[in-house]
Amino acid sequence: MKTLRDYFPILTWGRHYGRQSLSDDLLAAVIVTIMLIPQSLAYALLAGLPPEAGLYASIVPIILYAVFGTSRALAVGPVAVVSLMTAAAIGAIAEQGSMGYGVAALTLAFLSGAILILMGVLRLGFIANFLSHPVIAGFITASGILIATSQASHILGVSAGGHTLPEMLTALIRALPQVNWITLVIGLSATGFLFWVRRGLKPLLRRMGIGARAADIVTKAGPVLAVVATTVAVWGLGLDAQGVRIVGAVPQGLPPLTLPSFSPDLIGLLIVPAALISIIGFVESVSVAQTLAAKRRQRIDPDQELIGLGAANMGAAFTGGMPVTGGFARSVVNFDAGAATAAAGAFTAVGLAVAAIALTPLIFYLPIATLAATIIVAVLSLVDLGILRRAWAYSRADFLAVAATILATLVMGVEVGVSTGVILSVALHLYKTSRPHVAEVGLVPGTQHFRNILRHEVQTDPAVLTLRIDESLYFANARFLEDYLADRVTPDCDLRHVILMCSAVNEIDLSALESLEAIAHRLDTMGIALHLSEVKGPVMDRLRGTDFLAHLTGRVFLSQHDAWQALRG
Amino acid sequence: MKTLRDYFPILTWGRHYGRQSLSDDLLAAVIVTIMLIPQSLAYALLAGLPPEAGLYASIVPIILYAVFGTSRALAVGPVAVVSLMTAAAIGAIAEQGSMGYGVAALTLAFLSGAILILMGVLRLGFIANFLSHPVIAGFITASGILIATSQASHILGVSAGGHTLPEMLTALIRALPQVNWITLVIGLSATGFLFWVRRGLKPLLRRMGIGARAADIVTKAGPVLAVVATTVAVWGLGLDAQGVRIVGAVPQGLPPLTLPSFSPDLIGLLIVPAALISIIGFVESVSVAQTLAAKRRQRIDPDQELIGLGAANMGAAFTGGMPVTGGFARSVVNFDAGAATAAAGAFTAVGLAVAAIALTPLIFYLPIATLAATIIVAVLSLVDLGILRRAWAYSRADFLAVAATILATLVMGVEVGVSTGVILSVALHLYKTSRPHVAEVGLVPGTQHFRNILRHEVQTDPAVLTLRIDESLYFANARFLEDYLADRVTPDCDLRHVILMCSAVNEIDLSALESLEAIAHRLDTMGIALHLSEVKGPVMDRLRGTDFLAHLTGRVFLSQHDAWQALRG
């Protein structure tokens, strides 16, 4: 039975909340807030939304996650991959910058929240397990490439759209003659500076004798420095008049109360993207949360996480936000900065609310190119093409799944990409199980252990054929087994007994049971008895409920060794 | 390597064709022809096509199958379930009786043929294995109910459409006031007579001293008797003037040369139904062919069957036909009548061609109700609701798949029905494998055999925990295993060694490998070593290619007994 405390994790940590936790959480919140201001604006830009949407999506959602979520360090808000998926989903149905575009984003967040909560209530968190590690790695890598490419136009100061790599590249090349050189200088400087901050600044500060913690904070504040420097440059030199695109007027104030659209048409168009965003967001978030929880020997509850993330998205939908999830970078920063409880998230929300009220006039002159630079630097760390090599070295099936995911994502977009990865990895798994490995086994001398006659020196008997079937027997391989035995067992030999060694058979379904009956019947007409050995408890329970055992021409042996001793000539 | 003879099975049996085969085949052809004339007309009616389409679909396709197919007894032509699926597919896009309707049927046959041939060339016959026995049984049962219901309107002499059971029943009830009583009398008499022929006539003839073969032929000719009697009655009494619907003018002559439409729009609309028809038709046909081949110790080649059936459908597309496949009833009749080779099919085609040329004027007055009666009697033998009980008794998952297939087919139509069945049975299988059974095992005293400690009296050791994982380790259960071990293994006990007994692990994919690494690392921090035992050859080959074994804190043992002897205190 779940208790109220399972549904409201805040009740657990809230009871013991003390001064130490408070000071840890406050410090973490300051650091994360500084990091999140430019990041939130940037991801709103990536999703095609006005910059304030990113700030709003980081305020109420964080508080709701703090109430319902089980991770103590997860920082919820707009993240790169989900923002890219949001742009792809909405871009297909509304004009960027239009009224409908913003409402569609709210609706997407609402649907995503509803799907996550429903999955949580129905305890469907296991669905995320069908995204294999290689598929996730491939999808994130391809998304990172897409995101970086999409931001290249802002660095160049041109307008270029597209949701796939070929579209984006074509648009970029076409737009090249319109390059705004001042924007390019700002964009490249910001990008170079941020890369340097990420790679070179912290070691430099440490060498200068600055403490690890302080060096870390300065490093995280790097994007803020870039924002301040470029904003001041544009303002001071009047570069906006030279065609440098700037953020412009951002409404000043707390997040507004907004309503998503409940139009059935819009819901129909957005429900599939919303489901994909929910699952991808959930997988990303849960991976981060589990990694961080394990470091402190805490546990997270994936089904309750669904509810926490669902509530966060619902919050985003009603407060002018966009789809959110637990982000990798921000959560790690939160964790490293010492966040002790989810209250750190709530304090971050307060910090961002203050920013939304007080700081928005200051970013009027912030160049879009700077935001693009922060995105590019953030996402390029996600790109890991080495997964292709590692998968190839391990297995062709894993490689095929990764390669197809990357290719489909780049060429056909995020939705097709992730679907391709999941469907292909499931299909490859099913294909493998539909043609199981079957080994003829014999006794390893001096033991009671039986192994493949082709790999080990073993004893066999011409009257007894023992086949170890290396797969559960179910509809997809039922006919394969029939065909295999028909090919393998011919009437004209000394063979009297066929033993199916079932140590690897974890299930026999109704289709396979019918095939076993057909096999037993066929062997019987050749004067050969069919035996089973090492049938597992759960499988045996099921067979006992049928008349298969009554009709079986042979016996069922507890161990293969028993069978061998009873049947050999 | 496949030889020419594999692609043209006719070359194999044609070389040894002799007088005995010829006389056997001729007799079988006569019997099948008599049976097929009314059946072909009836299935065309079921598909919503003019009656001659059924005859045409039984001429050229049979000959093409004789050339390319591997079964010696399979009789190809329109069958009930495929005709129903044809009606559902075309009914959605064209008005019955319109020019477009007939062309759509040709296009559907063409697409179906193309898909079958493609699957054959790519050796994709295994796809059919994903239709589990219970799903097929459920689908055929529900289709039988739909077909019988669809024909009820012809027995009542009313017009009522619909592609789902609720639609059909509503239309029938609405149409009840228009019942044509004379049609109803003809329809009920024909139905009653045919049921009696099927159930009671053969025993009666046998009791009267008539030989088994002759009694059989008379029984198969029952539908022809009903056709002759009701046609004569309508003609003699002028019942068509009383509102009894009759077949009317049927073109006299050989099948015409026709062209399917290659319009991309039409192909787009029909490609999914064509794929479903292909797979369902292939599964039905292959099941029949394999059953019959097994009785004579012949083999059929499923991939070549795809090509044979594909060629038959191509033939139907270009000669005024409709989608065809190997039918159960007609093939069994062909087999029982002694057909020795596929030449019997060719002779049947000649018989039907003669019928198309000479007999069509004679069926002008044939009442539609009689054809409906032959369909109803034929399909009710397909209905087997007992599959629900048998599946329930065996496993809830199988039951769920059957019940959902039946319900979805009845309520949402054939395409949704069969898709639901396949998707649900695959999903249930994946769900089961994503939460594998894990047993703690101990040594069965006096043996080297290890079994579940909860089911057997076994020896254990507090320092050694052996877990037998009853499933291949792959992405869907990788995280489950991590969670399971985190719950199961706690630091505060005497435990020093965890052995994963891998006798049931047929695969470890890249996701699972990463999980195993995480598990080994976690156990290591608790001072517990992770060992593997009974790793199979193919799995071990793959692990050897990685650095997992190098980092493993424990060892890999050939047998669980070796591990036990080495590690117990």
pLDDT tens, B272-282? 999 999 999 99
Q: What are the structure tokens assigned to B168, written together? A: 């059909």
DSSP per position, A209-249: T--HHHHHHHHHTHHHHHHHHHHHHHHHHTGGGGT--B---
- Write out residues 358-387 of A within 8 Å (CB-CB) of B: none
Which tokens is A118 given? 């429903």
> Does B176 lie in the same domain as B120?
yes
Per-residue model confidence (pLDDT) at position B492 = 66
For residue B568, report the phi and psi dihedrals to the nearest 5 degrees. Answer: -70, 150
Q: Is B166 domain-assigned?
A: yes
> Is residue B444 exposed (0-12), middle (13-18) or buried (19+ Cβ within 10 Å)?
middle
Q: Among A285-294, A527-536, B227-236, B554-563, whose mean pLDDT is lowest? A: A285-294
Mean pLDDT over A78-97 rounds to 88
B371 occurs within a structural domain: yes
Higher pLDDT, B330 or A534: A534
Q: Do B480 and A126 touch (CB under 8 A)?
A: yes
Average pLDDT over residues A538-551: 90
Terminal Cα-to-Cα distance of chain A (whole angstroms): 57
Tell me how far the alpha carbon of residue B317 is from its chain's centroid: 22
Q: Are residues A215 and A299 in the same domain?
A: yes
A 282-341 residues with CB below 8 A of B? 294, 299
Segments in chain B below pLDDT 70 = 1-2, 491-492
DSSP secondary structure of A500-523: EE-TT---B-HHHHHHHHHHHHHH
Which of A377, A399, A421 corresponds to the end of one domain? A399
Q: What chain A residue is nearest to B392 in terms of C-alpha separation?
A: A510
Task: Using pLDDT thresholds of 50, 70 and 90, give the confidence band for residue A94.
Answer: confident
DSSP SS3 for B266:
helix
B393 and B524 belong to one structural domain? no
Give the residue with greater pLDDT, A465 vs A292.
Answer: A465
> Which among A133, A390, A394 is the nearest to B475, CB-wise?
A133
Residue B564 Cα, gap to closest chain A Cα (Å): 13
- The answer to whether residue A123 neighbours chain B at the CB level (below 8 Å) is no
Domain end marker among B348, B378, B402: B402
Q: Residue A468 maps to which CATH number?
A: 3.30.750.24
Is residue A103 located within the same domain as residue A22? Answer: yes
In a domain, A395, yes or no: yes
Cβ–Cβ below 8 Å for A129 and B444: no
Q: Helix, strand, or coil here: B473?
A: strand
Give the whole-angstrom CA distance, residue B130 versus residue B560: 35
Residues A524 and A451 in one domain: yes
Residue A3 pLDDT greater than 80, yes or no? no
pLDDT of A563 > 90? The answer is yes
Predicted pLDDT at B1 = 52
Contact B133 A451 (CB under 8 A): no
- Region A286-309: mean pLDDT is 83
Q: Is the same domain home to B478 and B381?
A: no
Interface of A with B in 41-70 (CB under 8 A): none
A511 touches chain B (CB under 8 A): yes
Q: Who among A134, A449, A478 is closest to B561 (CB)?
A: A449
Give the residue on B whose Cα is nearest the Cα of A547: B394
Domain count of the fold of chain B: 2
- Please indicate, yes or no, if residue A429 is contained in any of the structural domains: no
* Model pLDDT, residue B113: 96
Q: Could you give the 3-state DSSP secondary structure of residue B42? A: helix
Please say which residue of A399, A415, A450 terminates a domain: A399
SS3 for A36-93, per residue?
Answer: HHHHHHHHHHHCCCCHHHHHHCCCHHHHHHHHHCCCCCCCEECCHHHHHHHHHHHHCC
Contact status, residue B450 vs residue B458, Cβ threshold 8 Å: yes
Q: Tally C-beta pairs within 8 A across A and B.
A: 174
Domain shared by A386 and A524, yes or no: no
Q: What is the pLDDT of residue B254?
A: 87
B216: CB partners within 8 A, 6+ apart: B202, B336, B337
- Do residues A319 and A255 touch, judged by C-beta distance below 8 A? yes
Count the Cβ atoms, other than its own, within 10 Å of residue B178: 13
Mean pLDDT of A262-289: 90
A45 lies in the same domain as A155: yes
Q: What's the domain range around B468?
A: 438-567
Q: Is residue A258 part of a domain?
A: yes
Residue B422 lies in a domain: no
pLDDT of residue B318: 95
Confirm whether A293 is domain-assigned: yes
Which of A501, A403, A508, A507 shows the shortest CA–CA distance to A450?
Answer: A501
B200 and B262 inside one domain: yes
The answer to the question of residue B6 being in a domain is: no
Residue numbers of B between 130 and 149 with CB closer than 8 Å to A: 130-135
What residues in A contact B488, CB-CB < 8 Å? none
Confidence of residue A330 (pLDDT cuts 50, 70, 90): confident
Angle between helices B475-488 and B414-434 (to 10 degrees): 40
Same domain, B290 and B141: yes
Q: Which residue has the tokens 């695109």?
A: A245
Mean pLDDT of the region A476-494: 84
Q: Does A391 touch chain B (CB under 8 A)?
A: yes
Q: Which of residues 190 through 229 in chain B touch A, CB cutoff 8 A?
A: none
Mutate to test the interface with B, among A283, A468, A511 (most CBs of B within 10 A): A511
Cα(B195)–Cα(B12) distance, integer angstroms: 41
Residues B213 and B282 in one domain: yes
Q: What is the model's pLDDT at position B188?
A: 95
3-state helix, strand, coil in chain A (%, to 5): 65, 5, 25
Are residues A206 and A281 located together in one domain of the fold?
yes
Q: Tell if the CB–CB gap between A394 and B545 is shorter than 8 Å.
A: yes
